[in-house]
């Protein structure tokens, strides 16, 4: 997936002048992937996952979803007392192996697709969330860290077009 993402990011950098615009496109792509991954995950697992809480949903995404689709399991840490915010911490981000961000694109969040995937998966199972990178190994941070904050629990409303 890493090499395919490199090609996609290179094309986005040609199509959009601003790194923030590319970051938004990566988030949108990830959101759409997250929605589809939930369907795929449920169709290929025999377990009955009923995520009754935001915390449970984050645990399933981290421990089962990331392992199944990326081969890594992020640590979930820094839970808020209300259990409405946490951090996905990747010691080893497989998307950035052999990747370098050019000097003139220091605002680029190469792995922002992961933020979109998490957001899309959570919204599909009724947890509208804000998902943002707080640390990025490609920017010299020791880990890749993604903050996930619950905005609201939704009912069976249709997903917004993204």
The pLDDT, as a whole number, for residue 161 is 64
Q: Which two tokens stand for residue 24?
A: 């938004």
The pLDDT, as a whole number, for residue 162 is 57
Kindly report whether the global pTM for this prediction surpasses the value 0.85. yes
Walk along the chain (162 residues) and give the pLDDT tens digit of each residue.
Answer: 444 666 777 788 778 889 899 899 999 999 999 999 988 888 887 666 677 899 999 999 999 889 988 888 999 999 999 999 999 999 987 777 777 777 777 788 878 989 999 999 999 999 999 999 999 888 888 999 999 999 999 876 555 665
The pLDDT, as a whole number, for residue 160 is 61
Q: Which domains does the chain have, with CATH numbers?
A: 2-153 (3.30.1380.20)
Given a contact cutoff of 8 angstroms between Cβ atoms, the answer to whether 137 and 92 are in contact is no
Do you know the residue count of the chain?
162
The pLDDT, as a whole number, for residue 81 is 96
The pLDDT, as a whole number, for residue 78 is 96
The residues facing 85 across adjacent strands are 149
What residues contact 91, with CB distance under 8 A and at least 6 apart? 75, 143
> From residue 67, how far is each of 73, 90, 150 by CA, in Å?
5, 12, 22
Q: Which of 3, 138, 148 is nearest to 87 (CA)?
A: 148
């Amino acid at each position: 997936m890493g090499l395919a993402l490199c090609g996609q990011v290179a094309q986005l950098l040609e199509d959009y002048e601003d790194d923030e615009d590319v970051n938004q496109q990566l988030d949108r792509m990830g959101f759409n992937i997250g929605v589809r991954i939930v369907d795929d995950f449920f169709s290929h697992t025999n377990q009955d996952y009923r995520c009754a809480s935001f915390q449970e949903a984050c645990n399933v995404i981290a421990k089962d979803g990331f392992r199944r689709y990326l081969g890594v399991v992020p640590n979930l840490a820094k839970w808020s007392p209300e259990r409405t915010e946490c951090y996905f911490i990747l010691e080893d981000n497989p998307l950035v192996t052999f990747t370098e961000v050019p000097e003139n694109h220091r605002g680029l969040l190469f792995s922002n697709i992961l933020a979109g995937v998490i957001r899309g998966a959570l919204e599909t199972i009724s947890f509208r969330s804000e998902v943002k990178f707080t640390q990025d190994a490609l920017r010299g941070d020791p880990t890749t860290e993604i903050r996930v904050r619950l905005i609201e629990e939704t009912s069976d409303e249709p997903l917004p077009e993204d």
